[in-house]
C-alpha cells in the first residue's frame, strides 16, 4: 500500500511551504520455492513464472528482496540487472522510482563475537541504487508505535513468569551468583582437568630432566670404563713383554750354564787324560761341581 502524505508549514519569513512524502507500507510477501527459475542466467525475467506467482493475489507488486550470507551490504551486478528487468515487466508498478529492492545481508566481526544483520530498502534513481529510509513497526504491539526492543511478555505485570523462574531457581541456579549449576560443574571440571594437566606436565618435565642427567652419567661411566680397560690392556701387554724377556734371559742363562758344564766336563776329562791318569766318575763329578761353583762366582761378580 502506498500513501502520499503532505506537510504544510507556515512561517513569517518564507510564507506557506508544503512537502509531500510518499509512504509505502509493506504488509506481506509472496514466498518463492525455487522449483522453477524466475529468471534466466542472462538476467531476463520469466514472465510465465512471475504471472503464476502473482495470479493468486490482487495486490500491487512493490518490489522484490534478496538475502545473502557473509557479504557486503551493496547490490551486485546480477541484482542490478534483475532489478532493471523487473521494472520492464507488465505486472510492476507504473512509476519505476517506486519499485523497491530489499537487500538482507549478514556479517560478523573479526573475532566472530558480534553478528550483524544488515537490511534496507533501495530504489533505482539516475541509474544508481539509493537507500530509502525505513521504519519497522512491531506488529505484535497493538499500540502501533515504533519498534520495541522488549516484548510485551517481559514487561507485563503478571507474576506468572517470575513464579516460574523462582520455582526453577533453586534446582538450576546457584543463589549467590545466579549462575547455572551445570555451568559451574563444567567450569569446575575444566579447572580440575587443567590443574591435572599442569601437574602431569611438570612431572614429565622433571622425569625428562632426570633421564637426561642419568644418560649423561652413563656416558661418563662408559668413557671411564673404556679408559680403564685400555690402561689394563696396556699394563698387561707391558707385563707380558717383561715376563717374556725374563723367560728368555733365564733360558739363555740355563743354556749358557749347560754349555759351561759340558765344556768343563770335556776340559777335565782331557786334562786327566793328558796327565796319564783317568779320574773316576765320582772324582770327575766333584771336580765338575767345584768348577761350576767357581764359574757361578765369576758370573755373579760379572753380573754385579
C-alpha cell at 232: 689394563
- DSSP sequence for 53-96: HHTT--S-B-EEEEEESS--SS--HHHHHHHHHHHTSTTB-SSG
Number of independent structural domains in the chain: 1
Residue 289 lies in a domain: no
Tens of pLDDT, residues 257-298: 767 766 666 666 666 655 555 555 566 566 666 666 666 666
228 pLDDT band, cuts 50/70/90, is confident
C-alpha 92/C-alpha 98 separation (Å) is 10
C-alpha 62/C-alpha 79 separation (Å) is 16
φ/ψ (deg, to 5) at 197: -65, -40
Residue 232 lies in a domain: no
φ/ψ (deg, to 5) at 285: -70, -40
Residue 35 lies in a domain: yes
More confident residue, 83 or 238: 83
Residue 251 lies in a domain: no
**What does R_g of the chain's alpha carbons equal in angstroms?**
61
Are 137 and 147 in contact by the 8 Å Cβ rule? The answer is yes
Residue 108 lies in a domain: yes
pLDDT at position 200 is 94
Are 58 and 40 in contact by the 8 Å Cβ rule? The answer is no
Q: Collapsing DSSP states into helix, strand and coil, what is residue 37?
A: coil
| Extended beta strands in the chain, E state | 2-11, 15-24, 63-68, 100-108, 115-125, 128-132
Tens of pLDDT, residues 33-58: 665 677 777 777 777 777 777 776 66
Torsion of CA 85, 90, 94, 95, to 10 degrees: 0
C-alpha 223/C-alpha 236 separation (Å) is 20
Residue 158 lies in a domain: no
Domain that holds residue 106: 2-149
pLDDT over 70, % of the chain? 62
Instruction: Say how many C-beta atoms besides its own lie within 10 A of residue 43's C-beta.
Output: 16
Residue 30 lies in a domain: yes
Are 28 and 1 in contact by the 8 Å Cβ rule? The answer is no
Tens of pLDDT, residues 58-107: 666 788 888 888 888 889 888 888 888 888 775 555 576 778 899 999 88
Nearest Cα neighbor of 261 from 227, 285, 230 is: 285
Tens of pLDDT, residues 98-122: 788 999 998 887 777 788 888 899 9
Amino acid at each position: 500500500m502506498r500513501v502520499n502524505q503532505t506537510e504544510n508549514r507556515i512561517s513569517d519569513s518564507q510564507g506557506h511551504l508544503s512537502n509531500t512524502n510518499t509512504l509505502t507500507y509493506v504488509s506481506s510477501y509472496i514466498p518463492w520455492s525455487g522449483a522453477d527459475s524466475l529468471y534466466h542466467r542472462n538476467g531476463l525475467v520469466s514472465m510465465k513464472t512471475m504471472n503464476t506467482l502473482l495470479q493468486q493475489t490482487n495486490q500491487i507488486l512493490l518490489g522484490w528482496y534478496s538475502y545473502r550470507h557473509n557479504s557486503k551490504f551493496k547490490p551486485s551486478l546480477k541484482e542490478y540487472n534483475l532489478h532493471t528487468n523487473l521494472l520492464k515487466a507488465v505486472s510492476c508498478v507504473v512509476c519505476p522510482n517506486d519499485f523497491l529492492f530489499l537487500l538482507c545481508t549478514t556479517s560478523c566481526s573479526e573475532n566472530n563475537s558480534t553478528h550483524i544483520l544488515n537490511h534496507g530498502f533501495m530504489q533505482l534513481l539516475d541509474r544508481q541504487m539509493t537507500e530509502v529510509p525505513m521504519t519497522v513497526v512491531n506488529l505484535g504491539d497493538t499500540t502501533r508505535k515504533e519498534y520495541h526492543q522488549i516484548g510485551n511478555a517481559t514487561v507485563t505485570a503478571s507474576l506468572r513468569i517470575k513464579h516460574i523462574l523462582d520455582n526453577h531457581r533453586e534446582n538450576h541456579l546457584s543463589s549467590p551468583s545466579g549462575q547455572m549449576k551445570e555451568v559451574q560443574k563444567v567450569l569446575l571440571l575444566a579447572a580440575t582437568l587443567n590443574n591435572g594437566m599442569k601437574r602431569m606436565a611438570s612431572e614429565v618435565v622433571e622425569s625428562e630432566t632426570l633421564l637426561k642427567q642419568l644418560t649423561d652419567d652413563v656416558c661418563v661411566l662408559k668413557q671411564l670404563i673404556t679408559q680403564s680397560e685400555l690402561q689394563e690392556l696396556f699394563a698387561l701387554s707391558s707385563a707380558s713383554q717383561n715376563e717374556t724377556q725374563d723367560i728368555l734371559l733365564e733360558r739363555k742363562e740355563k743354556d749358557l750354564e749347560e754349555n759351561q758344564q759340558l765344556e768343563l766336563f770335556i776340559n777335565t776329562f782331557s786334562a786327566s787324560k793328558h796327565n796319564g791318569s783317568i779320574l773316576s766318575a765320582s772324582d770327575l763329578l766333584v771336580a765338575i761341581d767345584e768348577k761350576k761353583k767357581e764359574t757361578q762366582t765369576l758370573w755373579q761378580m760379572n753380573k754385579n
